[in-house]
Amino acid sequence: MNGDQLMDETQKREPLDVVVIGAGFAGLYMLHKLRALGMKAVVLEAAENVGGTWYWNRYPGARCDVESLEYSYSFDDALQQEWHWSERYATQPELLRYINHVADRFDLRRDIRFNTRVASAARDEQNNLWTLSSEGGETFTARYCISAVGCLSLPSLPAFKGRDSFAGRLYHTGLWPREGVDFTGLRVGVIGTGSSGVQVIPHIAQQAKHLHVFQRTPHYSVPAKNRPLDPGETARYKARYPEHREAARQSAIGIAGFPVPTQSALEVSAEERTEAYGMGWERGSTGYTRIYTDILKNEVANATASDFVKMRIQQVVRDPAVATRLTPRYMIGTKRLCLDTQYFETYNRENVVLVDVSEAPIDQITEHGIRTTAREYELDAIVMATGFDAITGALKGIDIRGSGGQSLAQKWEAGPRAYLGLMTSGFPNLFLITGPGSPSVLSNVVTSIEQHVEWIADCLAHLRQHGIARMDADLAAEDRWVQTVNEAANATLLPKGNSWYLGANVEGKPRVFMPYAGGVGNYRVVCDQVVIDGYRGFLLS
Ligand code: NA7
């Protein structure tokens, strides 16, 4: 079939009820819910299979930093009871097996179009429809469009001079080759020491002949203390699954197992704090920053938690000069806290060298390797662990046109604006799962995804029941919500970090704190109250 015939075929079809973009955790559950509502829906997915972020991030050591028993769907009790997690923190392959299992178990694949990357989405106001076009030229028309594109799905590749001239192999952790990579005997350079770098570096160090780590910012990391899950422990947890899930839904970050702090770090003695931080360190979780109420709110309190981790780094890393270069200088938690397995220990290996590119930045990539302003490093392979154009990148990468042809990328030029992170004014019938202004990346994202999917499904049922064809966010409500998001962020230390939460990692991206920092439980209450108030702040017609 040629392109024109394909267009004819697709245009002949009846409009769908819903088209969903993305077949990761969000898109799959959304499809399942839409089916339950009896809606005709199709999911468009760029990859050749399900999984979203867990499809692409296949680098060695890729692992979740939320515990497996929590980082999983809660919507089906049989599913959560029957699925067996082998480790406390699931590896990428295990997560991908799980997502594939869910797709099969609920027979989701028949409504997913793989290898279909959405290029544009245009609103046809007259007919109250969205038309999506794929890069391959297929079109899909639907009454509603739901974005499930994910917050960390567009890899960020810094535009280093000479990037294409490198004669060796170049990888990005978020676009890892399916067949894997063998670094045996190679001289490897890793750029970036965020969560991905911290996970991949110990693995590459074990294989490579030599590893140079190019670090711009030393990051905080606490040991994951990962381990196989004991069947007895799992059974006990599963026996109380509904309670745990409910606790997660009401919690600050969508995780039931984190301590709920009750004291300020400043109201206890130094000895007591050291003991608590020591226990937090041994527990092995990003809950470390939640040991006291004010670690993420008060600079003095934060310093006590930061100092403990700095001290641990100094103890682990044998060479004092290297330890100093690995010691963070920002406030813990203001950039995402990493969880690691043998990360700092890796710098004690003979074949690993830390290159501080804050002192001598990377000047360019050459045919032979990486040249900093100080010298050139000859390499056979370069791994960019340079992160993502987070939260807005994937959406802005699609040419989305709302009412009157307004472009979403233009509307969000100075930073994203969305009411509750669920809809953005001027783009009727377009819903955003974990959109900007929702807890998303500040939470166990599966908890947040489920809340959004269920809210949207209930909303679509309500619209159908009341014969409402068009829904949009009211601009004034959206402005107030953006203000609320800013206030929530400013009540914490989070905007003080140079983080991807703020877009600081992508050159030219506006510095706006994007997720809602007011807590998953509080956020849920707001969303529910909006519904009780007759979809307050939304325009229904
Ligand atoms: P991150 O956390 O954004 O880390 C990216 C790393 O790459 C970080 O160390 C950056 O340094 C570094 N980077 C980025 N650009 C450059 C340039 N131009 N030169 C040198 N170094 C650079 O991404 P991850 O993939 O590790 O993790 C993202 C999330 O995925 C993670 O938080 C989990 O939620 C899962 P910087 O700190 O900006 O100085």
What is the 8-class DSSP label of residue 145? E
H/E element, 473: strand 471-473
What pLDDT score was predicted for residue 353?
98
Using the mean position of ligand 1's atoms as its centre, give its distance from the Cα of residue 415 in Å.
Answer: 20
Phi, psi of 313 (to 5 degrees): -60, -45
Query: Relative to the CA of 158, which ligand 1 atom is closest?
Result: 18
d(CA 418, CA 475) in angstroms, rounded, equals 9
What pLDDT score was predicted for residue 107?
98
Using the mean position of ligand 1's atoms as its centre, give its distance from the Cα of residue 233 in Å.
Answer: 35
Nearest CA to ligand 1 atom 35: 195
Nearest CA to ligand 1 atom 29: 195
pTM of the model: 0.97
Nearest CA to ligand 1 atom 38: 505
Using the mean position of ligand 1's atoms as its centre, give its distance from the Cα of residue 388 in Å.
Answer: 8
3-state secondary structure of 2: coil
Query: Relative to the CA of 384, which ligand 1 atom is closest?
Result: 7
d(CA 20, CA 132) in angstroms, rounded, equals 10
Nearest CA to ligand 1 atom 12: 192
Name residues of the chain where pLDDT drops below 70: 1-13
What pLDDT score was predicted for residue 12?
52
Using the mean position of ligand 1's atoms as its centre, give its distance from the Cα of residue 215 in Å.
Answer: 10
Using the mean position of ligand 1's atoms as its centre, give its distance from the Cα of residue 387 in Å.
Answer: 4
Residue type, 282: E
Query: Relative to the CA of 195, which ligand 1 atom is closest?
Result: 26
d(CA 531, CA 458) in angstroms, rounded, equals 10
The number of C-alpha atoms within 13 Å of 21 and in the hemisphere containing its C-beta is 32
What pLDDT score was predicted for residue 5?
45
31-75 per-position pLDDT tens digit: 999 999 999 999 999 999 999 999 999 999 999 999 999 999 999
Nearest CA to ligand 1 atom 36: 217
In our burial notation (b when 16+ CB lie closer than 10 A, e otherwise), range 161-179 reads eeeeebebebbbbbebeee
Give the mutation target among 196, 354, 388 for probing the ligand 1 site: most ligand atoms within 8 A of CB: 196
Instruction: Let me know if 358 is exposed, middle or buried by CB neighbors in 10 A (0-12, 13-18, 19+).
Output: exposed
Query: Relative to the CA of 174, which ligand 1 atom is closest?
Result: 25
Angle between helices 445-465 and 520-532 (to 10 degrees): 0
Query: Relative to the CA of 197, which ligand 1 atom is closest?
Result: 26
* CA-based nearest residue to 432, from 443, 423, 419: 423
Helices (H) and strands (E) in the chain, counts: 17, 20
Give the mutation target among 161, 195, 214, 339 for probing the ligand 1 site: most ligand atoms within 8 A of CB: 195
Give the residues surrounding ligand 1 with Cβ less than 6 Å away: 152, 158, 173, 191-197, 216-217, 336, 357, 362, 385-388, 500, 505
Using the mean position of ligand 1's atoms as its centre, give its distance from the Cα of residue 368 in Å.
Answer: 24
- DSSP output for 199-243: HHHHHHHHH-SEEEEEESS---EEE----BPPHHHHHHHHHTHHH
Give the mutation target among 198, 216, 355, 372 for probing the ligand 1 site: most ligand atoms within 8 A of CB: 216
What pLDDT score was predicted for residue 259?
81
85-144 per-position pLDDT tens digit: 999 999 999 999 999 999 999 999 999 999 999 999 999 999 999 999 999 999 999 999
Contacts 24+ apart (CB under 8 A), 367-373: 367/162, 367/165, 367/166, 367/167, 368/167, 369/166, 369/168, 369/187, 369/189, 370/189, 370/191, 370/212, 370/214, 372/214
Nearest CA to ligand 1 atom 3: 387
